[in-house]
Amino acid sequence: MTFTQWLAAALGVALLCWLAAKAWRRRAGGGESSAPGELPFQADPPWHEVLGVDADADRAAIEAAHQARREEHLPERVARLGARARQQAQWRLMQIDRAYAAAMRELGLGRDRSD
């Protein structure tokens, strides 16, 4: 094998490795975020914005808003649209549940985690 052939083979392998790494990162989520419009590990918006209520809303209003938002974003409602739509709905549902839990903690009704 001549030096030119060896060099061409090495460059080909390097190019192939670079393309494979780029494709792997894109497939693993490095190219786009896993949640719609959000960056990984980004803090959630305030609970009252997620639930669509005032920050000083009472428990009944928070529970009603929580239930209404959950029904809007059930993954079963978008099941026919494909896996990506279900994933987005599941992510939104988790965000709604976290907002509800934060609201209950703020009202003093959340679980005590000191146990």
3-state secondary structure of 23: helix
Name the percent of the chain lying above pLDDT 70: 83
Query: Cα-flanking dihedrals φ and ψ of residue 35, to 5°?
Result: -115, 150
Model confidence at 31, pLDDT cuts 50, 70, 90, reads very low
Q: Which residue has the higher pLDDT, 37 or 22?
A: 22
- pLDDT, tens only, 54-70: 988 999 999 999 999 99
Q: Mean pLDDT across the stretch 74-81?
A: 80
Q: What is the pLDDT of residue 33?
A: 47
Comparison of pLDDT for 25 and 52, the residue scoring more:
52
Higher pLDDT, 38 or 45: 45
Work out the mean pLDDT of the chain and round it to a whole number.
81
pTM of the model: 0.59
**Nearest-10 Cα torsion for 18, 23, 27, 30:** 50
Q: Rounded to an integer, what distance in angstroms lies between the CA atom of residue 53 and that of residue 45?
A: 13
DSSP string, 65-101: HHHHHHHHT-GGGGGGG-HHHHHHHHHHHHHHHHHHH
User: Angle at CA 27, nearest 5°, toward 18 and 91?
Assistant: 150
Identify the weakest region by mean pLDDT among 11-15, 71-75, 97-101, 111-115: 111-115
Q: Is 50 within 8 Å of 95 (Cβ atoms)?
A: yes
What tokens appear for 71 in the block? Answer: 């029904």
Residue type, 61: A
